[in-house]
C-alpha cells in the first residue's frame, strides 16, 4: 500500500544554488517515489543531476515559506554521497539517485534509490498544529483549483488544532499561509 510522507526536497540548481521544495514522497513498499507536477524547477534539477535530498523536518515555517514564496534563512550542509545540499536542521535526510523515470505529460514519477541516510536530531513526536499547517499549505497550493468555500470550511476545522496545540513557530507559519490565502481570495473577489 502506498502512503505519502510530507518532506522538503533539496536539489541543485544549474547555477549551483539550492532549490528547496515541499514534495510528498510516495512510499510504495520499499520504493521511494517523487511525483512533481510539470513545470517544476525541482523536476528539472532532479532530471539534470539525477539526484537530490529528501529532508525530514519538523519546522513548518519552511513549508509555509515555500508555499508563500517568502524568504527565510535556511542553513545548508553538503550531502555526503551526492552533489547537493541538505537542510542543516533536518531531523534526518535521505540522499538519493534516480533509479527509474515513469514519464507522464503532467506528472512523471521519479523512482529514487537511497544512497545515504542520516539522523541529525531527536524526533519528539506528532503535533496536531504542525499537521494543520501542512494541510493549510496543501490548501494554499490548490488555490484556483478547488472552490474557495471548501478551503474556508477546511480552515475553520484546522484552526481548532492551531488554537489548542500551536507553539510560536506553528502560529508564525499558520499566519503566513493564512495571509497568503486571504490575499488570493480578496483579489479573486475584487476581480469577480
What pTM value is reported for the model? 0.94
Q: How far apart are CA 166 and CA 185, in angstroms?
A: 25
Give domain 128-191's CATH architecture.
Up-down Bundle (1.20)
CATH fourth-level superfamily of 2-119: Electron Transport, Fmn-binding Protein; Chain A (2.30.110.10)
Q: For the chain, which residues make up each domain, given as ranges?
A: 2-119, 128-191
Digit-by-digit pLDDT tens for the chain (192 residues) are 789 999 999 999 999 999 999 999 999 988 999 999 999 999 999 999 999 999 999 999 999 999 999 999 999 999 999 999 999 999 999 999 999 999 999 999 999 999 999 999 999 999 999 999 999 999 999 999 999 999 999 999 999 999 999 999 999 999 999 999 999 999 987 886
CA angle (32, 38, 44) in 5-degree steps: 70
Q: How far apart are CA 123 and CA 44, in angstroms?
A: 32
The three-state DSSP-derived secondary structure of 10-58 is EEECCCCCEEEEEEEEEEECCEEEECCCCCCHHHHHHHHHCEEEEEECC
Amino acid at each position: 500500500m502506498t502512503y505519502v510522507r510530507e518532506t522538503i526536497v533539496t536539489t541543485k540548481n544549474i547555477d549551483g544554488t539550492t532549490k528547496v521544495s515541499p514534495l510528498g514522497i510516495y512510499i510504495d513498499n520499499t520504493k521511494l517515489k517523487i511525483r512533481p507536477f510539470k513545470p517544476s524547477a525541482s523536476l528539472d534539477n532532479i532530471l539534470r543531476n539525477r539526484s537530490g535530498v529528501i529532508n525530514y523536518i519538523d519546522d513548518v515555517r519552511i513549508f509555509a515559506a515555500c508555499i508563500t514564496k517568502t524568504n527565510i534563512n535556511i542553513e545548508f550542509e553538503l550531502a555526503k554521497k551526492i552533489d547537493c545540499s541538505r537542510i542543516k536542521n533536518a531531523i534526518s535526510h535521505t540522499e538519493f539517485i534516480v533509479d527509474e523515470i515513469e514519464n507522464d505529460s503532467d506528472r512523471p514519477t521519479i523512482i529514487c534509490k537511497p544512497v545515504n541516510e542520516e539522523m541529525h536530531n531527536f524526533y519528539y513526536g506528532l503535533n496536531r498544529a504542525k499537521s494543520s499547517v501542512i494541510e493549510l499549505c496543501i490548501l494554499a497550493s490548490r488555490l484556483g483549483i478547488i472552490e474557495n468555500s471548501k478551503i474556508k470550511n477546511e480552515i475553520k476545522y484546522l484552526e481548532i488544532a492551531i488554537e489548542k496545540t500551536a507553539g510560536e513557530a506553528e502560529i508564525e507559519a499558520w499566519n503566513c499561509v493564512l495571509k497568503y490565502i486571504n490575499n488570493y481570495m480578496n483579489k479573486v473577489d475584487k476581480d469577480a
